[in-house]
Amino acid sequence: MTDIPFRVGVLGAGQIAQAAHFPACRKSKDVELYAICDAADDLRDRMTLVHQPTTSFDDYDKMLADENVDAVVVAVADQFHVPLAVRALDAGKHVLVEKPMGVTVEEAEDLVAAQQRNDRVVLVGHEKRYDPGIAFAHDFIQDEIGELIGLKHWYCDSTYRYAFTDTVQPLIEHSAAPRRPSGDPKANRQRYYVLGHGSHLLDTARYLGGPITALRARLSTKAGTFCWFVEAEYENGCLGQFDLTLAVRMDWWEGFQVYGSEGSVVGKVHNPWYLKTAEVQAFSAKDDQFHQPIGADANVFRLQIEDLAAAARTGSTPRGATAVDGLASVRAMVALARSVESGDWVRLADVEGGV
**Residues forming the site for ligand NAD (CB under 6 A):** 11-17, 37-40, 43, 60, 75-78, 80, 84, 98-99, 125, 127, 175, 178-180, 196, 272
Give me the residue whose beta carbon is nearest to ligand NAD.
14
For residues 103 and 80, give the distance between their C-alpha atoms in angstroms, rounded to a whole number: 9
Eight-state DSSP code of residue 166: H
Provide, rounded to whole angstroms, the least separation between the CB of residue 216 and ligand NAD.
26
Count of H helices and E strands in the chain? 12, 15
Q: Which of 76, 305 has the CB closer to ligand NAD?
A: 76
How many degrees, rounded to 5, is the angle at CA 195 between CA 191 and CA 100?
A: 150
Provide, rounded to whole angstroms, the least separation between the CB of residue 222 and ligand NAD.
26
Q: Which of 87, 216 has the CB closer to ligand NAD?
A: 87
Provide, rounded to whole angstroms, the least separation between the CB of residue 99 and ligand NAD.
5
Q: Which of 84, 148 has the CB closer to ligand NAD?
A: 84
- Among the listed residues 35, 107, 45, 40, the one whose alpha carbon sits nearest the alpha carbon of residue 72: 35
Q: Which of 125, 263 has the CB closer to ligand NAD?
A: 125
Provide, rounded to whole angstroms, the least separation between the CB of residue 161 and ligand NAD.
12
**Cβ-count burial 48-68 (b if 16+ within 10 Å, e if not):** beebebebbbeebeebbebee
First to last CA, the chain: 40
Provide, rounded to whole angstroms, the least separation between the CB of residue 340 and ligand NAD.
21
Q: Which of 17, 105 has the CB closer to ligand NAD?
A: 17
Provide, rounded to whole angstroms, the least separation between the CB of residue 164 and ligand NAD.
15
Q: Which of 201, 311 has the CB closer to ligand NAD?
A: 201
Task: Give burial (CB, 10 Å; 0-12/13-18/19+) of 166.
Answer: exposed
Q: How far is CA 238 from CA 106, 169, 200, 206, 325, in A?
A: 28, 37, 20, 11, 19
